Structure formats: C-alpha cells, structure tokens
Structure 1
C-alpha cells in the first residue's frame, strides 16, 4: 500500500498550481487564445499541458502554504506576470489593427464594419490585416517562441513572494505607445497618398462645380486605395518581421524588468 502524506500532496499541488496560474494569466491576455471565441476548456487544457511539461525543470519553489495570505499573494503575482506578457503580444497585434483603422478612414471604409464574436465593431480592413498578421505569426512559429520565452521566464523571474518591480509595469505602459507610432508608420504612405487624392478632388470640385465630388470621390478613393493596399502588402512581411522582433525582445526585457532588485 502506498501512503501519501499531506506534505507530499501539498508539494505536488504547489508545483502545479503556481506555474499554472502564470500560464492562465498569459492565455487570458494573449491575442491568440485570449479571444472570447476560444473555448475556455481549450485554454485550461493547454495551460495544464504546458505546466506538466515545464514543472520538473522549475527552480526551487518557496515552502508557502497555498491556503494562506502569502500563497494568495503568489497567485496574484503570477497572474500579473502572465497577463503582462500576454499584453505585450496584444499590443503587438494592435499595431496592424490601428494601421487598418487609419487606412480605412482615409479610404472611406469607416462604415464598413462588422461585429466580432466578442461584441466589438471592427473595420473590415483592420480585421483583414489582423488576420494576415496572425497567420504570419503562426507560420513563422512565433507562438512556439513565445511559449519557450514564457517557460524560460520561470528561470529569470522565479516563483516567490518577494514582489515585483514597478519599473516593469512602467515599461509595459510605455510599450503601449507602439500602437500609435508603429501603426501610423505602417499607414503613413497610404494616408499621405490618399490625402493627395482627396485634395486633388477638392480642387477639381472648385474648378468644375458641375462635377459632384461625392459621386466620383468615393469610387476614386476606394479604387486607388485598393491599388495602394496591394503595393503595401508586398512590403508587409518586412514590417511584420521587425514588429515581431520588437515584441519578442520586449517580452524578454519585461520579464527582466519585473525582477525585483
């Protein structure tokens, strides 16, 4: 007969629970599986599977009871770490969505929206660029790199109750500005070209009032915008490569910044 003591059960529970909480926090905030349309059972099952894979190689865990204030603090801490890593990925994918919004507004596609499964109105062009970015990210095995980085974060930022460095959250907030800077940088060529088209149509309307700018402006802007979008797609891969490198590098730097001094 095999006897299992309470200490052994508690050690097994701790070895599984705390890494599992960090992974759950990541899947809640990550753009791939954090979407509401992704089944909750898939998120929990994938987090449990990764936890079983990385648990044997984790550093020495603190001897803190799970049902205690210190244990609750560790659970909150691990959730914040996982959510912070997931938010970096969400910001990275939001860059192309912001670029799609900028381009869609200039092309006259602001009314072309549809309701996503999470109940948010999204521009068609923004959604299209987001799906292209997601497929490219999966094609280059970016999700595997993120999971490997997340597993390595337990070595850089081991599980404990020493607290987190606020400088890491400040770094995360500053990285949020990438949505506007990089998104505008991607959309700037098309926005500038379409602005010239709109100015030309305005001058044409003043010189020839019999031409109704509303009847010819939208078809011209939409046709020229689709042509420019075709040209933009030829260079989108290079932009996404730089964006993925920046995002993955930021994850590594964030984990290091969250480590208390």
Structure 2
C-alpha cells in the first residue's frame, strides 16, 4: 500500500493510532524515557517515530463494524499493555531507590534529601546516587534499546485488538510489584549488614566504656563506614542490577504471552 493510499485509509490510520497508544504507554512510564527530565513533546515525538517504523509490520485491522464503546475499550487495552510494560521496568528502579533510602537512613542521612527529577519527589542523597549509577548502567548495557525492542516484540505476542487479562496475569503483576522489596534487599545487603554490625559494636562499646559519648563518635564513624562499603560494593551493584534487568525482560516476555492468550 502506497503512502498516499495509506493516509486515505481510515483503518490504517486507526491502526497507526492504536500502535502509538501502546508505545506511548511504555515510553511514558519506562525508566529514562518516562523521566520528568524528558520533555513531554519529545516523548510523544519518539512514540510517533517508533510507531512509523513498527506499523508496517502490524496487520491492518478493520473497524467498520466496531462500536464507539468497543473502540474505547480497545484504546484502553492498548494503553494498559504499554503502561504495564513500562511499570515493570520502573519497579526495578523503585526497588533500588527504596534500598538507597534504607541505606541513607542507616548512615544518618535520613534528613539529607534532594529532589529526584524522574519522580519529582524528595529522596535520600544515597538513593539518588544509586539512581544515577543505575541509569548509567541501564544505558551502558543497552537497556534503552532493549525497551524499544520489547515494544516491537509486543505486537507479535499481543496483537492489536486481542487482550486476555485473567487472574493469572493479575497475580503475576502483583508478584512483580512485590519484587521491589526483594530488589532492595539484594542491592543494600553489603552496606546494610556492615552498618548493622557496626551498630552492634558501638552498642557494646557504649556499655563497656560509658564515658565515651557514642552519639558524637558514632555518627561520623557510621557515615565513613557506609561510604567506604558503598564504594567497594559498586562492582557487586553492577552485577546484581544487570541480572535483575535481564530478568525483567524475561518477565516482560512472560507477561506478553499471558496477555496474548
């Protein structure tokens, strides 16, 4: 079908619109793409460009006998598929930020918060540090390209107009949401265990040497220990986050197969 004929074909235009809806749902919620730093018009522009590249491989649907209510449901379905895909990736970043919040609290940085431009919320300085490292790792291993690849793959597994959301899919999404805390535990394990042992040692010292002001001595010591262990665990952080990210794409494949019936 030529380009001029495509523009005059209503079914083609509606199909293209649905493709953009699904892509927008992903790009508006996925990490990096969905950041508040990225302008809204730029995200929409990326959605249209990717849609133009994908729509040629998507079967053109016929909407001649489709009612308005059914069409609205189809649009909502495409949006939900995109949002679910992007949120699964966002869960990983949220889990790491949650772990950073715990580490910052343990180190005594509970009141030292800065603005996270991605979520427009106040987060711990340690959480923001880990978030920046996480974004750099995400870009270094090609996570942005894998997200776009997942967008294109979704149309093969979950064709336009099809949507199967049963209890199995619901429980899968809930379990993935619960993995936020598991992600946080994996990321903060070295620093958290070290600070916990340090607190035990300082508690014993406070009992053995009552003359020592443990509050004055303890704060700089736990900050120093926390920063050193955090620096030494960056390699571990990279390894764990890379495995978690690749596990995410396996989860996306599983979700698409569920939604595709």
- TM score, norm. by length of structure 2: 0.91
Cα offset, 1:149, TM superposition: 1.5
Could you tell me which residue of structure 1 aligns to residue 223 of structure 2?
222
The alignment partner of 1:250 has SS state of helix
Separation (CA, whole Å) in 1 of partners of 2:163 and 2:216: 65
SS at match of 1:211: coil
1:92 match: secondary structure:
helix
State the distance in 2 between where 1:62 and 1:218 align.
67
Map 1:24-173 → 2, pairs under 5 A? 24-64=24-64, 68-117=68-117, 118-161=119-162, 163-173=164-174
Superposed CA deviations along residues 44-63 of structure 1, whole A, max 9, x for unmatched, are 10000000000000134243
Residue of structure 2 equivalent to 1:250: 251
Root-mean-square deviation (CA, aligned residues, Å) is 2.1
CA distance in 2, matches of 1:7, 1:191: 58
User: How far apart in 2 are the matches of 1:51 and 1:229?
Assistant: 41
| Aligned counterparts of 1:108 and 1:96: Cα–Cα separation in 2 | 18
Secondary structure at the counterpart of residue 216 of structure 1: helix
| Cα drift, residue 36 of structure 1 | 2.5
Structure 1 residue aligned with 2:186:
185
- Alignment partner of 1:177: what SS? helix
Where does the alignment leave 5 or more consecutive residues of structure 1 unmatched? none
Equivalent position of 2:239 in the other structure: 238
What is the aligned residue count?
257
- Going from structure 1 to structure 2, the CA distance change for 1:208 and 1:162 (only over 3 Å counts) comes to closer
Matched residue of 1:235: which SS?
helix
Asked whether the 8 Å contact 2:97–2:130 carries over to 1, the reply is: yes
- Stretches of structure 2 lacking an aligned partner (at least 5 in a row): none
Q: Distance in 2 between matches of 1:165 and 1:79?
A: 17
Partner of 2:195: 194
How far apart, CA to CA, are the structure 2 residues paired with 1:207 and 1:6?
Answer: 82
* TM-fit CA distance, 1:91: 0.7
Deviation, structure 1 residue 213: 0.9
What is the distance in 1 between the residues matched to 2:112 and 2:142? 32
Distance 2:141 2:153 in 1: 20
Structure 2 contact 12–60 (Cα < 8 Å) conserved: no
